[in-house]
Amino acid sequence: MLDRRQWLALLGSAALPLLATAQTRKRGHLVIIGGAEDRKQDRVILKKFLELSGGNHARIKFITAASETPQATWQSYQAAFDDLGATQCELVPIATREDASKSEVVIQLAQADGIFMTGGDQNLLMQCLWESPAAQAMHRAFHLNGACIGGTSAGAAVMSRQMLAQGNATPDPEKDMVSMNIGLGFVANAIIDQHFSQRQRLGRLLSALAQRPDMLGVGIDEDTALVIERGQSIEVVGRGSVTLLDPRKMHTNFDAIDAEEKLEMLGLQLHILPAGQRYAAPIGIKQNKKQPQSLWEAVYLLAQTGPMRG
């Protein structure tokens, strides 16, 4: 891990305005996409990401380390953002853990207005980024510079600290049917799953929550994004829904059964949040009486993003 002095030495004079004005910059946003977002027609989600990054002249950096075809993936997004009028999009050359420690990569990410992680395999992505200077730089861009961090599919899965690493979709939740790993930690209190309705992943996410009942479960449909404004609100953008599961008051037989046996899960709270809806976190404002207390609490937890790492 780099300390403050090492970061200043690495970034040089470019870091001074970033640190000096940290208190006056915009709040960071997360754009967490369920995969298969529209890149050729209305591009509603990509427009939202570009807007939250600062508009057409924002410095947008792309990470394709999750993809088996990184160059083709980059070209697809490059064409989409060119059509949207973005003028400063750039691929960050991260393919290995060694790349994620290079000073030029760290500087690119620390100075970014928006960082977008593409789809593929979240485990490949975390093999590159885990505890790396590049991951530290992403956190500094988000927390200090108010950058927008976006991710689709695998890039969405790594947003949480508790990352769903592997597991097949089954009709019913089963004990130990999924494996967990550590993600980037931008989302502190939830486990994220993607392609949710299209790949029928409710049972998979419930199985993960049985292991970690202290976490919320967030299932995001394709061409749908959960947008989190740090400490303020969540919003659903696109054409699908976000399924929000709250197991914190749940009773389960997890400790009494063997692996692959069916789970009993009683008292779960489930909320369906459709595209076009925004939910404010309960900070200094009166609660909307139309929203149940359980949703109110869940929105608050989602809006409290993880701490800066590194």
Which residue numbers are catalytic?
Answer: 153, 195, 222
CA–CA separation, 244 vs 251, rounded Å? 18
CA–CA separation, 275 vs 278, rounded Å? 9
What are the backbone angles phi and psi of residue 292, rounded to the nearest 5°? -65, 155
SS3 state at 251: strand
| CB distance 76 to 69 below 8 Å | no
The bridge status of strand 241-246 relative to strand 269-274 is antiparallel
If we measure between CA atoms, which residue out of 223, 264, 224 comes closest to residue 244? Answer: 224
| CB distance 212 to 184 below 8 Å | no
| CB distance 116 to 142 below 8 Å | no
274 residue type, one letter: P
SS3 state at 115: strand
